Structure 1
Amino acid sequence: MPAMHVRLGAFSAALVLTATLSTTAFAQKKYDTGASDTEIKIGNIMPYSGPASAYGVIGKTEEAYFRKINAEGGINGRKINFVSYDDGYSPPKTVEQARKLVESDEVLLIFNSLGTPPNTAIQKYLNQKKVPQLFVATGATKWNDPQNFPWTMGWQPNYQSETIIYAKYILKNKPDAKIAVLYQNDDYGKDYLKGFKDGLGAKAASMIVIEDSYEVSEPTIDSHIVRLKATGADVFINITTPKFAAQAIKKNAELGWKPLHFLNNVSANIGSVIKPAGFEAAQDIISSAYFKDPTDPQWKNDAAMKAWNEFLDKYYPEANRADGAVMYGFIVSQGMVQVLKACGDNLSRENVMKQAASLRDFEPVGLLPGVKVNTSASDFAPISQLQLQRLKGETWELFGDVISSDAGG
């Protein structure tokens, strides 16, 4: 009998040992290049110079936000090492910087690099290297293609669904419109244009009286605006980045051309577009939003706005608080932190993508009420809701419901 006891004791001890071993194996930390017990190295590429330099503040805001996270103890005890380079919005330069980040700096991932042409230039390279190209700062529809590009994920509402919403608004409220379209001659501009035509459907051919494109290398688009006005169009679809958006608004006013003016969300920025162009010139422009506009008085006592201001006071006091790009950088940085927290001690690139594709009703501070971040293994479009807004006085006024762009408005 005692022998039996001994055997059982040995058996249960073996069970305990096995359980302990498997728990230890399970709890082991897992790191890919760019992660360790003390650090998570994140790469980023921004146009700090060149024609899209107005967006450079996004990178500066992100750097400030990660400093805040580090000051508060980091992510699961690890500090973020944020390495951000300038590409001047030039795709060949983007390629150079991406290679540097991956091969020399050895980052874990590339986060929120800006622009459609720049991100297009590095997408294949990063997917071949299996380096996450996470939450890219562009709304091109193609970032949501997990089947062909499992290492690339977007962030903001996609361009096509945004212009589908504008098209539906025009069909409902101005069915006999004569529409002039100005767009940037690259993937970003063409993506917006495709959505707009899809939204108009069979009526696109008769309603659009002119489609004019400009090159990002042009110093001014004044001659394009003159051409558009000459058609007698009464609706203007303005698909431009901030520098050119401000020029267009200014030129419209100079010429006395007052069409119903739709401005793409990427330039619906009080600080870098509307104010420089002149508030008077921009009255009644329609755009769309998915996050709170810092200049909108309705958010004055809002908890999110207070948190944003406190963050800026401490970590980025020189920020232009009228610049929506600063709010954008604040929100997307929260998305990055959420994913890294969810990774726990498994900081493999594969797990980073897995956690990025597992966001459920996540609400970063600063999104409009009702807008939530959702992803899945088959849906790499984190934000797909928008609300229309109209410029009144010196701020945007939201109107209508929050529209899910999944349904195309």
Structure 2
Amino acid sequence: MHIAPLSPHDPAQLGGYELLGRIGHGGMGQVYLGESPGGEPAAVKVIKPAVVDSETRQRFAQEVEILKTIWGARIAALLDADAEAEPPWLATEYIEGLDLSRHVARHGPLPSLLAASLGATLAEALATVHKQGLLHRDLKPANVLLGPNGPKIIDFGLAVFAESSVSLTAPNTVVGTPSCMPPEQARGDRPLTSAVDVYALGAVVLYAASGHLPYQAANIHVLFHQVTDPETAPDLSGAPGELVPLLTAMLAHKAEDRPALSDIVQQCRAVIEAQGCKVAQARRRLTTHTAAPSHMLDGLPPTVVTPPPPTAFVDLPDPGRATTVVLPSTTPEPVPTLVDRPTPPSGSLIAKTPADPTSPGAATAADGPSASLPVPSGPSRASSRQRRHSPQSRITAQRLREVYAANAAF
């Protein structure tokens, strides 16, 4: 997980969570690494004040309600939220590790054994989501986090109840990530079925095994044409031969031709067992292969910590708990494009359907450069730092602030 220092305009706390750094951003909001008063880490998502309107707030409230409903071992759990706050925010379980997009971009595709294990794990997770009457609708490599206990699915901001034809989007628009989107979703069909998540899972497994998505194009209208054209087959080049039949079925143009999630699990098991490995063993190998290093703090500049008075009692850092912090690169982050690349896609696209390719603003990126957030009324930054936290978190926060100060232009 890439953690960038807070800017001077970022809030010091949200909803009682002290903010320690930035871990993601998009056109709609910012995601921070936060810590509860009891020391629980959290991913705190906040909607930017510039985009808060009635529709955005309604969609955010829908995401909160869905996260309250959903559960599962492979789903990032909701910790707390306030959709009526200024600005609206929610806190979910913090998963320490890279997302699948960043991992593949940094370390290359997964071997077929591990890609099959990932497919089986995520298929079971999606089956749990579907049993609760929900669809994810925006599964993609950036929404799969590779944590120390295995992969987990995040970002249910576009999730809907499976039988609902109600949408918060305007007519003739589609919301999602086109390169991971099935044809029926790209066409704006209603209602959608569980087959949309099967297709997206096929795109994720293909990316994990080959390093690319099923369709790629520099022009959004060309991309939509590729996705919706039944004569244009997905690009399966680079995928291991043993996974090609399964990927072909998962990425079928017609929703009714795609396999059920239970069948996907069984076919992934067959690929794993054909290589002389048990499913549980493959899961452990996947976690070991993708787990983030536990020594990233060693590269941070030293920080002088003033010792407490002799009479004070303090909690000593737990030597068994490793905290991973990735220093920000000295080169600027690449600007997100409308089409997913091997570099991490930062979010979804809100685009006009191909039926109106000539209309202005036919496609806009839902995720873009981050915007500064005003410091909300309430406890000041100085007073929030006086709250009692673990020494390790204070050291991490102080080092991040020093890195920011050293690189600041002022």
TM-score range, shorter chain: under 0.3
> Which protein is bigger by CA-based radius of gyration?
1
- Structure 1 length normalisation: TM-score? 0.26
Q: Which has the higher contact order (CA 8 A, sep 6+)?
A: 2
